[in-house]
Amino acid sequence: MSSHVSRRLFRAKIALPTALATVGLVAMTIPSAAQTTSQPTNPAAGGAVAATSGALSTRVFAVGDIGLCGKKAAKRIAAVAKLLTKRAGPVLALGDLAYPKGSKTNFAQCYKPSFGKLKKRTWPVPGNHEYVTPRAADYFSYFGKRVGTPAKPYYSRNFGSWHFVMLNSNCVNLAGGCAPHSAEYRWLQADLAAHPNACLAAAWHHPMFSSTPKKAETNAAPLFSLLQNAGADLLLVGHQHNYERFLRMGINGQPASSGIRQYSVGTGGAEFYPFATAVAGSRKRVTKVSGALQLDLRRTGYSWKFLATTGKLVRDRGSDHC
């Protein structure tokens, strides 16, 4: 039995008693009625799609680093929004959504004109620019309590059979940071115990691994370690303004069969970052192109495509088990 599977079985055994004991800590989890998916009738509905294998899958999209004002940026942002508007499924917004301060004015002028139409199907995490406004207050005001609060800025929900934890990697802005004693760490422990799904994904803003001159930020390493021990499959991040896919990675920054595959998708419209020397585990790098990651989630695995707004549509694709 693989270590990945054995950890899942362990989590399943402890899930019920731990969930009953910690129900107060998982209050931000979306109720199960909101977690089901159905065949969509329009792009805003999200939900189930037919996978190429014929099995039912749930399609979601991910992209971050979006709301930068200015004519050139506005064209890039509008192109990404158009790409998503034509396709059904929830949109995971990976932080830095309204530059430069994440303020009410920034959301109104730089994010809403293109991405406002996607708001009801958007499930975001905050980036560092949102925290230029104290406690990211205007971010939470814009999206509402369904995505957390300044006091509890993280949440979780299911997409199909997958469980997603939508976390906050702005550790310096949180009481206790992201350390093992912190409120976020303890909440994540309880949430993982209460949701022993076979397939598990996480999203936050800062990359654990990066091949850009703007180095990776590892303040959230305790959360990553907790997720790896729980058998997580995916980590979706932004912050670096390009696309980069990794092998399954361990906490030590090296490829590991029991690790988590990171996708950096900071391609929502902000100015592009170049790549430097590829770091260990980096397998695909795309820059100077805006776009979004498409994930088709199945009960035992997933497939991915990075969709570009210009030139060749599909710039990266593949599949994996969970």
For 310-320, write each residue's pLDDT tens digit.
999 999 999 99
Tokens describing residue 313: 């549509």
**Reported confidence tier of residue 20, pLDDT bands at 50, 70, 90:** very low
In a domain, 36, yes or no: no
| Spatial CA neighbour of 158 closest among 130, 121, 195, 129 | 195
pLDDT at residue 101, rounded to an integer: 97
In a domain, 130, yes or no: yes
Average pLDDT rounded to a whole number, residues 228-247: 97
CATH assignment at residue 276:
3.60.21.10
Average pLDDT rounded to a whole number, residues 35-45: 36
In a domain, 310, yes or no: yes
In a domain, 7, yes or no: no
pLDDT at 243 over 60: yes
Kindly report the length of the chain: 322
pLDDT at residue 216, rounded to an integer: 85
CA atoms within 13 A of residue 130's CA, in its CB half-sphere: 34
Per-residue pLDDT tens digits for 152-165: 999 999 999 999 99
Q: Tell me how far apart the alpha carbons of residues 137 and 148 are, in angstroms, rounded to a whole number.
A: 11
Helix and strand numbers (H, E) in the chain are 7, 14
pLDDT at 23 over 80: no
Please report which residue ranges of the chain form alpha helices under DSSP H: 3-21, 71-85, 104-106, 112-115, 137-143, 183-194, 221-229
Of residues 295 and 27, the one with the higher pLDDT is 295
**What total number of domains does the chain contain?**
1
pLDDT at residue 214, rounded to an integer: 79
Per the structure, the complete domain to which residue 238 belongs is given by: 58-317
In a domain, 43, yes or no: no
pLDDT at 21 over 90: no
Please answer whether residues 248 and 258 qualify as being in contact, where contact means their C-beta atoms are separated by less than 8 angstroms: yes
Of residues 216 and 226, the one with the higher pLDDT is 226
Quick one: how far is CA 47 from the chain centroid?
17
Give the β-pairing of 282-286 and 260-265. Answer: unpaired
CB burial of 75-107 (b: ≥16 within 10 Å; e: otherwise) equals: ebbbbbbebbbebbbbbbbbbbbbbeebbeebb
**Reported confidence tier of residue 56, pLDDT bands at 50, 70, 90:** confident
Q: Tell me how far apart the alpha carbons of residues 256 and 248 are, in angstroms, rounded to a whole number.
A: 6
pLDDT at 15 over 90: no
In a domain, 48, yes or no: no
In a domain, 291, yes or no: yes
pLDDT at residue 123, rounded to an integer: 98
The pTM of the full predicted model, rounded to 2 decimals, is: 0.86
In a domain, 272, yes or no: yes
